[in-house]
Amino acid sequence: MTGAEAAQVVLRLDRITKTFGKLVANDAVSLSLHRGEVIALLGENGAGKTTLMNILFGQYTADSGAVEVFGRALPPGNPRAALDAGVGMVHQHFTLADNMTVLENVALGTVPLWQPRLDRTAVRARITRLADDFRLAVDPDARVGTLTVGERQRVEILKALYREARILILDEPTAVLTPQETDDLFATLRKAVALGLSIVFISHKLHEVMDISDRVVILRHGCLVGEMATKDTDRHALAAAMVGAEVSAPKVAPAAPGAALLRLGEVSTPDQGNAPGLKSVSLALRAGQITGLAGVSGNGQAALADLIGGLCAPTTGQFDLDGANVAQWSPRTAVQSGIARIPEDRHKTGTIADFNLTENAILESYHTAPMSNHGWMNWARAEAATEEIIARYDVRCPGPDTRIRLLSGGNMQKLILGRVLEAAPRIILANQPVRGLDIGAVNYVHSQLLAARARGAAVLLISEDLDEIMALSDVIHVISEGRLSPEFARGTMAPADLGVWMAGHGFDEGLAHAS
Amino acid sequence: MDILDILLSASFWAAAIRIASPLIFATLGELICERAGVLNLGIEGIMVAGAFAGWMAVYSGTGLWTGVMVAMVVGMAFGLIHSVLTVPFGLSQHVVGLGVTLLATSSTYYAYRLALPEVTSPPKITAFQPFEIPILSDIPLLGPALFAQTPMTYLAFVLVGLVSIVLYRTPLGLALRAAGENPSAVAAQGLSVTGIRMGAVIVGSGFMAMGGAFLTMSAFDSFFFEMVNGRGWICIALVVFGAWKPGKALLGAVLFAAFDALQIRVQQTPLGADIPYQIFLMTPYVLSILALIVMSRRAEVPGALMVPFNKGER
């Protein structure tokens, strides 16, 4: 990037303010973006990053403030104007139609509605050319529903490029990607910057921010609290600026494992569509110990979680709780046996979006005393219990009668934690417990899991984040194609060694060694 | 043996196509609405209103095609009511749809009594007459079945092709389908989900009313209140049967109509003397339920069907 180009400001936000009810999402935020520059917009969940970008893109209307693109003011609340001005947005939740092809999704809205015909050949040629230029390999005639998450994201980027976007906004683009796909995305972004595009990259992952950005802008509680050149800062300083306090990794005391509370002996479960079931898996969850389950997503983690959570039963093999064979197994018996479930997808299976906090807090206990008696709900008791969770687990919300849809991911997760941990469970199934959470919330969840371990609970931690697994687990298993590796004690394996197992190597020899 | 004779007769297939015609119009209308993401349960009432409006217009002296236009406009008016309530206001599509059916049916009754206060049996009009297409109608079996129908039947078949082309070959169709699959994809491209969905419901309702008009202006030559008789609800099922595709929906309509035509004829055979006629009346419905179960298992429902779209909601 030369000095002359750097001087050209392509985007300017001027004192943007936006409130939702009592919540101030953006408080007089100003920033500018130059040609060929990557700005990282950094902040915790709920800091107002997405709101700011939605205002820029015209999906929300700001209460006050102005947006200027290439020196011209953008009319508020008009996505069309933003698109025409050269702003392209890749949303966190993709705006693609699954039942339609890549080509149709890209072409949507690019030609006048009343034009008699859609020239598919021309669209296809242009998609192919852009895909080559920006290294975005994707089949134009594939149905979006059949694509992987990484491919869908490429379609979103293609959509923006197809409309000749000069400014790309990417909202948490890596949250859904594997490390390999993230590398591919970054290669594409570097290519785009080299071709003179400018990028706003929203994230709360510090190493990515350090990796891709030229400048970092930090938002906290809707205010711009810091702005610095990436080369002049480091992860530590960014983390501190983001949460407003020094952050430290959790201290892990030595483990004192007790008896095996849950034991699987050569258990197999049916495949679930494309995802493999368990293949002759043996596993012991011991009291006072965190067992980490590493592996690439879709290798049987869901099957194991469903099995322990009571959603499916083993087809073959031995399933023991406290040394006794389990005969009848359902989610309800699982909960009654003292298993706490932190589900993988808190929106889909962890909460009911339009229920309020109280109703969500008692989802697992509403049918028993004290939440209900003889078939009558005891709402006063339920609300009191929820107030307690809110206070003890620091759930930031207007009150227990708020719809949970309105909470940020981190606060939603805290409520789920409170729901399952208040019952002092003996076995905790933590499936991707910190996915999509910011640093503050991550540390909080981790400290709660460690506290449960200290109290003598057996924890199964399922995560795709190897750093998280290695930081917390006392013993580690790797899962691949539904098969489980032998147990590795803390510190005996380097990430690269685990990576070999994650890639599916070593199972046949390994099992022979283990037995 | 009797049934085989029936199946090989041109008059049977001609009847099947005739019975299918109103279903084709209304099924296409419903299909357009649902492809844009709006379930239109106003269909039954809109068909009643269309049947009355077209017939009344012709009875008051307009031409037949003007009558069809009048029916369409009346249908579109009810479509406007439906779409205003379901799209910008985002009300329950079930409730609004049933409400529109009740409103359309009762206002039709009211208009009928207002227009013909002292009539005991409804007057007749000169309806569309069958038009034999030269050469084509001379083809054995196929000719009399397909090419000796009334002009409105031909229009129904043309509309199937037209809707198909618009849905799959034009930018408008693309936007319409996207509005039914994922409205935020449409909004993110700067298009108006509200406009597209309202347009689809209004045009679709116009088609439904034409289906009703076929009954009074082509199949019969007069108007009775019971004449729509659940055809609208059948069309809702036919959309599912056709997996939201115009061609397959056409096939479903013809199939249902063929069962209907068949049962009438079987009633008159010796078999019909032994079995209560209600059994025969029932068969098209039973068979369509079975066909529906088989056909709809792999159907792809529009992703955002019945999901209201509110811009800017968190």
Q: Return the residue of A nearest to B179 by Cα.
A: A97
State whether A95 and B185 contact (CB < 8 Å): yes
Cβ-Cβ contacts under 8 Å, A97 against chain B: 177-178, 181-182, 185, 303
Cβ-Cβ contacts under 8 Å, A82 against chain B: 190
Of B171, B181, B190, the CB nearest to A97: B181
Cβ-Cβ contacts under 8 Å, B186 against chain A: 108-109
For A357-378, give one letter per residue: b (16+ CB within 10 A) or e: bbbbbbebbeeeeebbeeeeeb
pLDDT of A512 > 50? The answer is: no
Please tell me the distance in Å from A113's CA to the nearest CA on chain B.
5
State whether B190 and A113 contact (CB < 8 Å): no
pLDDT at B283: 83
Please tell me the distance in Å from B223's CA to the nearest CA on chain A.
38
Any B CB within 8 A of A228 CB: no
Please tell me the distance in Å from A215's CA to the nearest CA on chain B.
27
pLDDT at A464: 78
pLDDT at A30: 92
pLDDT at A248: 57
Which of the four pLDDT bands, split at 50, 70 and 90, describes residue A246?
low
Cβ-Cβ contacts under 8 Å, B303 against chain A: 97-99
Any A CB within 8 A of B299 CB: no
Residue keyed to tokens 């149709």: A104
C-alpha closest to that of A16 among A81, A77, A84, A72: A77
Any B CB within 8 A of A121 CB: no
Burial of A386 (0-12, 13-18, 19+ CB in 10 A): buried
Please tell me the distance in Å from A344's CA to the nearest CA on chain B.
22
Cβ-Cβ contacts under 8 Å, B313 against chain A: none
Residue keyed to tokens 């380097």: A494
- pLDDT higher for B263 or B65? B65
Greatest Cα pair distance in chain A: 76
Residue keyed to tokens 């700011």: A52
Please tell me the distance in Å from A195's CA to the nearest CA on chain B.
24
**Amino acid in the structure at residue B132:** E
Please tell me the distance in Å from A444's CA to the nearest CA on chain B.
25
Q: Return the residue of B nearest to A109 by Cα.
A: B189
Any B CB within 8 A of A115 CB: yes
Residue A217, C-beta contacts closer than 8 angstroms, at least 6 positions apart: A31, A39, A40, A41, A42, A224, A226, A227
DSSP B137: G
Chain A to chain B Cβ contacts (< 8 Å): 89
DSSP A408: -
Cα angle B68-B69-B75, degrees, rounded to a multiple of 5: 90
- Find residues 156-195 of chain B whose CB sits inside 8 Å of chain A: 169-172, 174-175, 177-178, 181-182, 184-191
pLDDT at A514: 44
State whether A100 and B171 contact (CB < 8 Å): no
Cβ-Cβ contacts under 8 Å, A84 against chain B: 190
State whether A100 and B188 contact (CB < 8 Å): no
| Beta carbons within 10 angstroms of residue A76's beta carbon | 17
Which of the four pLDDT bands, split at 50, 70 and 90, describes residue A5?
very low
pLDDT at B311: 58
- Find residues 140-159 of chain A whose CB sits inside 8 Å of chain B: 159
Please tell me the distance in Å from B121's CA to the nearest CA on chain A.
47
Please report the DSSP string for B22-33 in residue order.
HHHHHHHHHHHH
Percent of chain A with pLDDT over 90: 41
Q: What is the tens place of the pLDDT at every residue in B111-128? A: 999 999 888 888 999 999
**A29 — phi, psi (to 5°)?**
-90, 130
Please tell me the distance in Å from A91's CA to the nearest CA on chain B.
9
For each of the domains in chain A, give its residue range(s) and CATH number, in order of start.
Answer: 3-243 (3.40.50.300), 260-338+425-514 (3.40.50.300), 351-420 (no CATH)
Cβ-Cβ contacts under 8 Å, B172 against chain A: 113-114
Q: Respond yes or no on whether the N-terminal peptide bond of residue A370 is cis (omega within 30° of 0).
A: yes
**B34 — phi, psi (to 5°)?**
-70, -35
Any A CB within 8 A of B260 CB: no
A12-21, A38-47, A187-196 — which one is most confidently predicted on average?
Answer: A187-196
Average pLDDT for A364-379: 86
| Range from A191-195, A203-207, A231-235, A372-376 carrying the lowest mean pLDDT | A203-207
| Beta carbons within 10 angstroms of residue B26's beta carbon | 36
Residue keyed to tokens 């950094």: A42
CATH code reported for the domain at B2-110+146-298: 1.10.3470
Average pLDDT for A389-414: 88
| Range from A145-149, A189-193, A478-482, B32-36 carrying the lowest mean pLDDT | A145-149
Any B CB within 8 A of A178 CB: no
Of B174, B187, B302, the CB nearest to A104: B174
Any B CB within 8 A of A20 CB: yes
Q: What is the mean pLDDT of chain A?
A: 86
Cα angle A181-A182-A186, degrees, rounded to a multiple of 5: 120
pTM score above 0.90: no
Which of the four pLDDT bands, split at 50, 70 and 90, describes residue B270?
confident
pLDDT at A515: 37
Helix H or strand E segment including A38:
strand A38-43
Cβ-Cβ contacts under 8 Å, A99 against chain B: 177, 181, 300, 302-303
Round to whole Å and give the CA distance between A31 and B36: 39
Please tell me the distance in Å from A159's CA to the nearest CA on chain B.
9
Domain range annotation of chain B: 2-110+146-298
Average pLDDT for B92-119: 94
